[in-house]
Amino acid sequence: MAAGGDWWYLGVDLSTQQVKGMVIDDNLNVIHETNVKFDDDLPEFGTQNGVQVQSDKLTITTPVLLWVKALDLLLERMKAANLDFSKLKSLSGSGQQHGSVYWKEGANQTLKNMTADRSLHQILESSFSVKDSPVWMDSSTTEECRQLEKCAGGPQKLADITGSRAYERFTGNQIAKINKKYPEEYKKTERISLVSSFVASIFLGNYAAIDYSDGSGMNLMDIRAHEWSQQCLNACAPGLKEKLGDPLPSHSILGSISPYFVKRFGFSSECKVIAFTGDNPASLAGMRLQQGDIAVSLGTSDTVFLWIEDPRPTLQGHIFCNPVKSNAYMALICFKNGSLTRERIRDESGSVSWDGFTKAMKATSPGNDGNLGFYFDVMEITPSAIGVHRFNGQNCKVSEFSKEIEVRAVVESQALAKRAYAEKLGYKVLKGTRVLATGGASTNLDILQVLADVFNAPVYTIDTANSACLGCAYRAKHGLEAVLGQSFANSVKMAASPKLAVNPICEADKIYCPIVARYQELEKLVRNRS
Ligand code: 5FX
């Protein structure tokens, strides 16, 4: 056991394409990081970019046992790196939002009796009633969405209760589909977890509560009352309240770690498990977002999020409970065509690397000579639209751009969408606004330059692109201090401040202000739904 004062905290993030682990010490320094990449490290599951696209192209799933095996591997890698698990005072984590896991009758008994001589994968092999978990990229539940909105009295009424109108990927609609399509499997389901609370359940050796923040991404929770809305539950599936368990504040201590991890990896039996949350809420914590800042996460999905105190849900974007402050909220906008689209354009432009991509981008100038594109390789969430649509400076549709124009067009288009939708949520870029960038692509300064120019605001980054994982390590520490009345901001005040990455060019506003307006006009021509 570690001497007092010398404690460590673990954050785990199970995202779309990988699971990551990060350990920080008492001074909030990162002392260990490791990851497992689903496609490369677990090829036996045959996923592409972490998921399976079913034949209808709308249903998108990941085998739940892949996630279990990935956790086995992550812990084995930490052990192989000689991480001293006994120094961990607490742990927390996050998961890709909205995805759901269906535990079969009897699974909780299995979780409570895990024996250290077997891997998690061996132990939990037959613990799930649905083998392929729906994930956030799924867009197969339009029918269920319309039904839920009808039962709630319309899309705005549903948004007033749950923070969002009905979205295909939101868990309530996914559960409704599972109940309709696989009624026997649904009946045999003892518990439904989010990806976040599923991982927490494994560490706890017992079903873990869904936290308020990730629970807000289900179209099922009353975000002001912090409890399930019976009206929404009834509209989705029978007996849902029991299968979900009661939601809890995001900083809750769920209990001590399962004896399985004490015996197999040498964790302290005192190590506490703090409620897990969604990856975007965890990123908000990792970036120590403040009111007035705007966060942009550039990952498999691109997201924009803001800290808000007064929630006013609309038909655009989502309002979630804030993961680090009770009675505060966060607004979020999610764009499905993020890094995979950037990578496709990079590959098709003949650039074998990001160097080639940025070289192509530098051959054009801000504003791209009026050329503007929309790149929705898969059905986009914001806006509801699909396909690639290119317009020249005269607003005429064209079928091709040169490779240089194409590269800039995808980066500009993604940044324009972020600004346009942040403004629709009521956000105003003011003097002193900071854009905080995170996610894999936030290490690319040329992409950040376009972001700075389009927002006409400086872009800051933190030392790690893994802000979700870092946020969970911070939350692990704060969970223990919250019971003593400590605020999250105070718990992490020693952490390094975000660093300035790029400033906007002088003529940024003049160039991009009219283009944001033009983007919104042209977007109307490519949208499926008004
Ligand atoms: C947010 O609403 C999303 O659907 C995505 O950003 C997922 O959380 C990605 F993991």
- Supply the pLDDT for residue 183: 98
Atom of ligand 1 nearest to the CA of 303: 6
List Cα–Cα distances, 252 to 151, 272, 281, 354, 481, in angstroms: 32, 10, 15, 41, 11
Atom of ligand 1 nearest to the CA of 95: 10
- Burial of 33 from C-beta contacts in 10 A (0-12 / 13-18 / 19+): middle
| Domain assignment of residue 478, yes or no | no
| Domain assignment of residue 235, yes or no | yes
Is the per-residue pLDDT at 1 higher than 50?
A: no
Is the per-residue pLDDT at 432 higher than 70?
A: yes
Q: Which residues, at least 6 apart from 492, have a Cβ–Cβ distance to it below 8 Å?
A: 28, 288, 474, 477, 478
The model's confidence at residue 248, banded by pLDDT at 50, 70 and 90, is: very high
Residue 136, ligand 1, Cβ within 6 A: yes
Q: Which of 245, 265, 281 is the last residue of a domain?
A: 281
| 369-380 average pLDDT score | 96
How many angstroms separate the alpha carbon of residue 291 from the centre of ligand 1?
21
Residue 421, ligand 1, Cβ within 6 A: no
Q: How many domains does the chain have?
A: 2
The model's confidence at residue 129, banded by pLDDT at 50, 70 and 90, is: very high
Residue 97, ligand 1, Cβ within 6 A: yes
In degrees, rounded to 5, the angle at the alpha carbon of residue 242 between the alpha carbons of residues 332 and 279 is: 25
Query: Are 94 and 208 contained in the same domain?
Result: yes
Domain that holds residue 438: 288-463+498-530
Contact 247, 209 (CB under 8 A): yes
3-state SS class at 8? strand
Widest Cα–Cα separation across the chain: 69
Query: Are 269 and 333 contained in the same domain?
Result: no
Q: Whose CA is nearest to atom 6 of ligand 1?
A: 301
Structure tokens at 63: 């085998």
Atom of ligand 1 nearest to the CA of 97: 8
Q: Where are the beta strands (DSSP E) in 357-470?
A: 372-376, 387-391, 397-398, 435-438, 459-461
Query: Are 150 and 259 contained in the same domain?
Result: yes
- Supply the pLDDT for residue 4: 37
- Supply the pLDDT for residue 128: 99
Query: Are 181 and 92 contained in the same domain?
Result: yes
- Test site for ligand 1: of 14, 17, 98, 302, most ligand atoms within 8 A of the Cβ: 98
Query: Are 238 and 302 contained in the same domain?
Result: no
Is the per-residue pLDDT at 198 higher than 80?
A: yes
Query: Are 335 and 274 contained in the same domain?
Result: no
How many angstroms separate the alpha carbon of residue 300 from the centre of ligand 1?
9
The residue ranking higher by pLDDT, 130 or 291, is 130
How many angstroms separate the alpha carbon of residue 166 from the centre of ligand 1?
15
How does 352-385 read in b/e, with b if 16+ C-beta sit within 10 Å? eebebbbebbeebebbbeebbbbbbebbbbbbbb
**DSSP 8-state secondary structure symbol assigned to residue 428:** -
Query: Are 389 and 514 contained in the same domain?
Result: yes
CATH number of the domain encompassing residue 96:
3.30.420.40
- Supply the pLDDT for residue 463: 87
Of the given ranges (1-5, 103-107, 322-326), which has the lowest mean pLDDT?
Answer: 1-5
Q: Which of 281, 309, 326 is the last residue of a domain?
A: 281
| Domain assignment of residue 13, yes or no | yes
Please give the mean pLDDT across all residues of the chain: 96
pLDDT tens-digit series, residues 142-189? 999 999 999 999 999 999 999 999 999 999 999 999 999 999 999 999
Report strand pairing: 88-95 vs 8-14: parallel
Choose among 299, 295, 263, 528: nearest CA to 425: 295
The model's confidence at residue 3, banded by pLDDT at 50, 70 and 90, is: very low
Q: Which residues, at least 6 apart from 423, have a Cβ–Cβ distance to it below 8 Å?
A: 429, 516
| Domain assignment of residue 2, yes or no | no
d(CA 402, CA 65): 44
- Supply the pLDDT for residue 430: 87
Query: Are 230 and 133 contained in the same domain?
Result: yes
| 131-138 average pLDDT score | 98
Radius of gyration over alpha carbons of the chain, in Å? 22
| 65-70 average pLDDT score | 99
Is the per-residue pLDDT at 502 higher than 70?
A: yes
d(CA 163, CA 320): 6
Query: Are 275 and 303 contained in the same domain?
Result: no
Q: With the C-alpha atoms ordered 314, 381, 99, 278, is the resulting torsion angle positive or negative?
A: negative
| 34-43 average pLDDT score | 98
Atom of ligand 1 nearest to the CA of 332: 2
| Domain assignment of residue 472, yes or no | no
How many angstroms separate the alpha carbon of residue 260 from the centre of ligand 1?
31
Residue 341, ligand 1, Cβ within 6 A: no
How many angstroms separate the alpha carbon of residue 301 from the centre of ligand 1?
6
| 94-110 average pLDDT score | 98
Residue 15, ligand 1, Cβ within 6 A: yes
Mind spelling out the 3-state secondary structure of 179-196?
A: HHHCHHHHHCEEEEEEHH
Query: Are 311 and 361 contained in the same domain?
Result: yes
How many angstroms separate the alpha carbon of residue 136 from the centre of ligand 1?
6
The model's confidence at residue 2, banded by pLDDT at 50, 70 and 90, is: very low
Is the per-residue pLDDT at 351 higher than 90?
A: no
| Domain assignment of residue 174, yes or no | yes
Q: Which of 281, 314, 349 is the last residue of a domain?
A: 281
Query: Are 73 and 212 contained in the same domain?
Result: yes
| 373-380 average pLDDT score | 96
3-state helix, strand, coil in the chain (%, to 5): 40, 20, 40
- Supply the pLDDT for residue 529: 60
Is the per-residue pLDDT at 40 higher than 60?
A: yes
Query: Are 212 and 305 contained in the same domain?
Result: no
How many angstroms separate the alpha carbon of residue 309 from the centre of ligand 1?
22
| Domain assignment of residue 485, yes or no | no
Enumerate the β-bridge partners of residue 21.
12, 34
| Domain assignment of residue 324, yes or no | yes
